[in-house]
């Protein structure tokens, strides 16, 4: 079932997303060669709890940490630990927070120092793929139009588009209906309506789209060992179009016209 959220619910989710972005920003400032991934996790947890929210990932299906920290060929769900980041790595930071029972979810991928040109392009293109998906999330369109927009941008550039892991609804649970794939064709799935809240999260690989879950039961890697990037935002469908939550745009978008 897809739930349409009212403004009071959206405000809580907007606050949760703002805290998520605050945590990701704090983590990004600590991303340097030699930093332990568990230190990034500590920074995120401290930021979230300091803002009066709760980490969304701790305890979710047994997950042990505040962040998912995925390095190089790790696509998503990497568990923070004793790994040190090295110059030339890329690292995906996926974070969630809960405010008054409502969830926020976002992810960004970062370069650790200077990276190869093809890796820098991967980061920029995955961020652009997210922007294309968000722009397609307009009332009256279909959920699959989002993935079609991502695929239309990413596929001609030769990226492997991960299919096994997709975006999702967000609300009083971290993952709700509908599922939001990063591929088309368009014109399918539920109609996008005002008040729907979804997380859009393209994952693009430099090689194959195929991935495998590792022995820890969480970490997802590319099957060919080539690198991957991941960007995600939680958005609300507004009457005029998509609103990225946590960015200060909610009240203006939901204002009643004079």
Residues 193-216 have a mean pLDDT of 98
Exposure string over 126-163, b if 16+ CB within 10 A, otherwise e: bebbbbbbbebbbbebbbbbbbbbbbebbeeeebbbbe
* pLDDT digits 0-9 by tens, 165-177: 999 999 999 999 9
Number of H helices and number of E strands within the chain? 5, 15
Contact 134, 233 (CB under 8 A): yes
Q: What is the pLDDT of residues 14-57, one digit of tens each?
A: 999 999 999 999 999 999 999 999 999 999 999 999 999 999 99
Largest separation between any pair of C-alpha atoms in the chain: 57
- Has residue 254 got a pLDDT over 90? no
Q: How far apart are CA 99 and CA 250, in angstroms?
A: 16
Checking if the pLDDT of 255 tops 80, the result is no
CA distances (Å), 238 to each of 32, 204, 215, in order? Answer: 38, 27, 41
Q: What is the mean pLDDT of residues 163-189?
A: 97
The predicted pLDDT at position 258 comes to 45
Q: What is the mean pLDDT of residues 135-163?
A: 98
* Prediction pTM value: 0.97
Closest alpha carbon to 137 in 85, 196, 184: 196
Q: Where are the domains of the chain?
A: 7-246
Q: Is the pLDDT of residue 218 over 90?
A: yes
Other C-beta atoms within 10 Å of 50: how many? 12
Q: Which 8-state DSSP code applies to residue 83? A: P
Burial (Cβ within 10 Å: 0-12, 13-18, ≥19) of residue 106: buried
- Assigned CATH topology for domain 7-246: Creatine Amidinohydrolase (3.90.230)
> Do residues 16 and 170 lie in contact, with contact meaning Cβ atoms separated by under 8 Å?
no
Torsion of CA 130, 255, 55, 52, to 10 degrees: 150
């Amino acid at each position: 079932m897809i739930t349409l959220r009212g403004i009071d619910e959206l405000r809580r989710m907007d606050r949760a997303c703002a805290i998520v972005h605050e945590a990701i920003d704090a983590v990004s400032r600590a991303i340097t060669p030699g930093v332990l991934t568990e230190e990034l996790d500590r920074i995120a947890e401290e930021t979230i709890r300091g803002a009066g929210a709760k980490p969304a990932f701790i305890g979710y299906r047994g997950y042990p940490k505040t962040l998912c920290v995925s390095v190089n060929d790790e696509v998503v769900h990497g568990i923070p630990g004793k790994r040190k980041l090295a110059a030339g790595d890329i690292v995906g930071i996926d974070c969630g927070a809960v405010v008054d029972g409502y969830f926020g979810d976002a992810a960004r991928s970062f370069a650790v120092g200077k990276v190869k040109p093809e890796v820098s392009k991967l980061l920029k293109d995955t961020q652009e793929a997210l922007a294309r998906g968000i722009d397609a999330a307009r009332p009256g369109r279909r959920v699959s139009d989002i993935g079609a927009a991502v695929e239309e941008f990413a596929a001609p550039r030769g990226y492997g588009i991960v299919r096994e892991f997709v975006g999702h609804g967000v609300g009083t649970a971290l993952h709700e209906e509908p599922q939001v794939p990063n591929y088309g064709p368009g014109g399918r799935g539920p109609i996008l309506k005002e008040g729907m809240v979804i997380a859009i999260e393209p994952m693009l690989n430099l090689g194959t789209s195929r991935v495998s879950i590792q022995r820890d039961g969480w970490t997802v890697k590319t099957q060919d060992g080539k690198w991957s990037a991941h960007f995600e935002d939680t958005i609300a469908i507004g009457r005029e179009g998509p609103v990225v939550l946590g960015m200060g745009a909610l009240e203006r978008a939901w204002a009643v016209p004079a």
